[in-house]
């Protein structure tokens, strides 16, 4: 069933294509209808006109011949030949069985027998026929006073040609109208799709984290006001909810802070008297101290991440030289936790004085988190490298540990994600927030972070930051 559904979806045309087809089809049907009506009306009018003209001429000629026959002119054949039969017409006279004709090609056999019997019966009649592909229209007029019948035969080839030209012209106009319809459909579909494109752009911006995005209300089409209104209301609610969650996490972390400070101080007091404790109590104290430390770290990270979610922590941007910045960050991490002591700092000469516009505190947190991870999971960072290319500075923290398998390289940046390495080394130390904070800080600085495999094995975390555009 799902296969079926997928097949149907693949066949389904997009909204734009459907609009274009509808417009083109509409134009085609309309132009075909108008064309057919125009063709049939013109054809009818032309044929009727031709018939009337033929009939008038026929009557005039018949009257001339009747007078000539009544006056017993010596050569009736010459009278018939002298008739002004006009272009493309031929005259035939049946005078008591003797036939006279003005044309070599049109003879009595050219006349339809039904026409002849009608005329013989004393009626004026006309009939269409064809002779060797030539369309003919014949009119028959009885002249009973002299026992004669007069026929006037018209060749309709030129009329047929005119109608053919008209047909081609109408078909061309129809095709042009259909094309115009398709173009109109394209323009209309673009216009119709614009609000949808705006909605989709707004949704993409919101998904990227720009919660202030709204659809413009003033310019909204009245028909779309409902959609605009509910979309904006949905984003309002989403924003409110995210901020509420962030505030909640922030409040909880705050509330936990003071008891934690008391706990930490109490542990400190106990640790100062560790010598007086027996073995089991000392062990219990170590466990307690480790957990209190971990708890403190968790609360600090939670506070930081929730502040960032609520956009409560402002960016304090400074233009700084990246070489000096990285050296200072590594040194402060070594001072604070010893992480990074084993790392060799390699700064490529062009990058040394590259200027980045950053919040120094955030860069410090990024580097210290990466160095601490290397310490916990890979026996310490081996190198911190800085390079610059095409307006982007890359800071890479490398280790020679087990590395991070490709399938985990995105997930490790998720909150509370603790990968396979956490179980192998330093279990129980982390909370899984470190790399989530790194990703958050990098994003706020307008950069990106990704993981590669270090040459010779191990993990290589690469943070890319845009330069300030000024290199001193
Ligand atoms: N250098 C590394 N080598 C191997 N695995 C790593 C490395 N850095 C991080 N990881 C893996 O990524 C996981 C997530 O790291 P992250 O820093 O987010 O959390 P954590 O270190 O477990 O806890 P926290 O940093 O919040 O105290 C770690 O649990 C670990 O499995
Ligand atoms: Mg960590």
Alpha-carbon torsion, ordered 170, 175, 181, 183, to 10 deg: -140
User: 263: domain CATH number?
Assistant: 1.10.287.130
* 291 shares its domain with 372: no
Phi, psi angles (nearest 5°) of residue 126: -135, 155
Residues 242 and 295 in one domain: yes
| Cα 338 to Cα 133: distance, rounded to the nearest angstrom | 107
Does residue 336 lie in a domain region? yes
Domain assignment present for 153: no
Residue 370, domain CATH: 3.30.565.10
N residues, the chain: 472
Whether residue 25 is contained in a domain is answered as no
Say how far apart CA 93 and CA 78 lie, in whole Å. Answer: 12
Domain membership of residue 456 (yes or no) is: yes
* Structural domain count, the chain: 2
Question: Which of 309, 334, 356 represents a domain boundary (last residue)?
Answer: 309
Q: For residue 380, how far is its CA from the centre of ligand 1 (angstroms)?
A: 13
240 and 345 together in one domain: no
- Please state whether beta strands 381-389 and 344-347 pair in parallel, antiparallel, or not at all (unpaired): parallel
Give the span between the Cα atoms of 465 and 355, in whole angstroms: 10
From the alpha carbon of 297, which atom of ligand 1 is closest?
A: 27
Closest atom of ligand 1 to CA, residue 436: 18
Residue having the nearest C-alpha atom to atom 31 of ligand 1: 419
- Beta strands 89-95; 148-155: pairing state: antiparallel
Please give the C-alpha separations between residue 188 and each of 19, 399, 428, in angstroms, as whole numbers.
Answer: 8, 58, 62
Same domain, yes or no: 268 and 406: no
Quick check: CB of 378 below 6 Å from ligand 1?
Answer: yes
Residue 278 lies inside a defined structural domain of this protein: yes
Q: Is 455 left (phi over 0), alpha (psi -120 to 50) or beta?
A: beta
Mutate to test the pocket of ligand 1, among 398, 408, 411, 422 (most ligand atoms within 8 A of CB): 422
Same domain, 331 and 467: yes
Question: 280 with 337, same domain?
Answer: no
Q: What is the pTM of this model?
A: 0.60
Q: What is the pLDDT along the chain (472 residues), one digit of tens a residue?
A: 444 444 445 557 788 889 899 999 999 999 999 999 999 999 999 999 989 999 999 999 999 999 999 998 888 888 888 886 667 789 999 998 899 988 878 888 889 999 999 999 999 999 999 888 889 999 999 999 999 999 999 989 989 999 999 999 999 999 999 999 999 999 998 888 888 888 899 999 998 878 889 988 876 677 788 888 999 999 999 989 988 888 888 888 889 988 999 999 999 999 999 899 999 999 999 999 999 998 998 898 888 888 777 666 677 889 999 999 999 999 999 999 999 999 999 999 999 999 999 999 999 999 999 999 999 999 999 999 999 999 899 999 999 999 999 999 999 999 989 876 555 544 456 788 999 999 999 998 999 999 999 998 999 999 999 988 644 4
Question: Is 70 inside a domain boundary?
Answer: no
Gap between the Cα atoms of 401 and 419, Å rounded:
14
Residue 421 CB–ligand 1 contact under 6 Å: yes
Shared domain check, 283 and 228 = yes
For ligand 2, the distance from its centroid to the CA atom of residue 119, given in whole angstroms, is: 114
Domain region containing 261 = 223-309
Determine, yes or no, domain membership for 439.
yes
């Amino acid at each position: 069933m799902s296969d079926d559904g997928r097949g149907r979806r693949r066949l389904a045309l997009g909204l734009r294509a459907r609009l274009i087809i509808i417009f083109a089809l509409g134009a085609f049907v309309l132009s075909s209808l108008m064309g057919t009506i125009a063709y049939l009306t013109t054809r009818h009018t032309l044929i009727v006109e031709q018939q009337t003209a033929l009939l008038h001429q026929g009557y005039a000629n018949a009257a001339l011949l009747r007078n000539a026959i009544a006056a017993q002119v010596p050569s009736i054949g010459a009278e018939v030949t002298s008739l002004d039969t006009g272009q493309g017409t031929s005259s035939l006279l049946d005078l008591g069985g003797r036939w006279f004709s003005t044309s070599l090609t049109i003879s009595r056999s050219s006349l339809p027998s039904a026409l002849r019997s009608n005329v013989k019966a004393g009626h004026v009649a006309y009939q269409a026929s064809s002779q060797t592909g030539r369309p003919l229209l014949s009119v028959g007029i009885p002249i009973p006073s002299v026992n004669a019948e007069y026929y006037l035969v018209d060749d309709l080839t030129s009329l047929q040609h005119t109608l053919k030209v008209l047909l081609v012209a109408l078909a061309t106009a129809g095709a042009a109208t259909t094309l115009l319809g398709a173009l109109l459909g394209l323009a209309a579909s673009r216009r119709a799709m614009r609000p949808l494109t705006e909605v989709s752009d707004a949704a993409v911006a919101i998904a990227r984290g720009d919660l202030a995005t709204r659809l413009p209300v003033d310019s909204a089409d009245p028909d779309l006001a409902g959609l605009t209104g509910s979309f904006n209301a949905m984003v309002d609610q989403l924003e409110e909810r995210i901020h509420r969650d962030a505030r909640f996490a922030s409040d909880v972390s705050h509330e936990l802070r003071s008891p934690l400070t008391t706990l930490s101080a109490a542990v400190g007091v106990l640790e100062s008297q560790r010598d007086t404790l027996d073995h089991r109590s000392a062990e219990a104290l170590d466990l307690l101290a480790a957990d209190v430390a971990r708890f403190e770290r968790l609360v600090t990270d939670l506070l930081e991440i929730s502040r960032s979610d609520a956009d409560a922590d402002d960016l304090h941007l400074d233009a700084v030289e990246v070489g000096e910045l990285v050296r200072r960050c590594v040194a402060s991490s070594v001072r604070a936790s010893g992480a990074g002591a084993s790392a060799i700092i390699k700064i490529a000469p062009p990058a040394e004085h590259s200027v980045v516009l950053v919040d120094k505190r955030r860069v410090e947190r990024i580097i210290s988190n990466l160095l601490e991870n290397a310490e916990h999971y890979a026996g310490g960072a081996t190198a911190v490298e800085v390079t610059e290319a095409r307006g982007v500075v890359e800071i890479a923290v490398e280790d020679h540990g087990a590395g991070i398998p490709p399938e985990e390289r995105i997930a490790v940046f998720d909150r509370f994600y603790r990968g396979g390495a956490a179980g192998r080394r330093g279990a129980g130390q982390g909370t899984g927030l470190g790399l989530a904070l790194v990703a958050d800080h990098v994003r706020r600085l307008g950069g990106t972070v990704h993981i590669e495999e270090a040459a010779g094995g191990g993990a290589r975390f690469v943070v890319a930051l845009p330069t300030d555009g000024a290199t001193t």
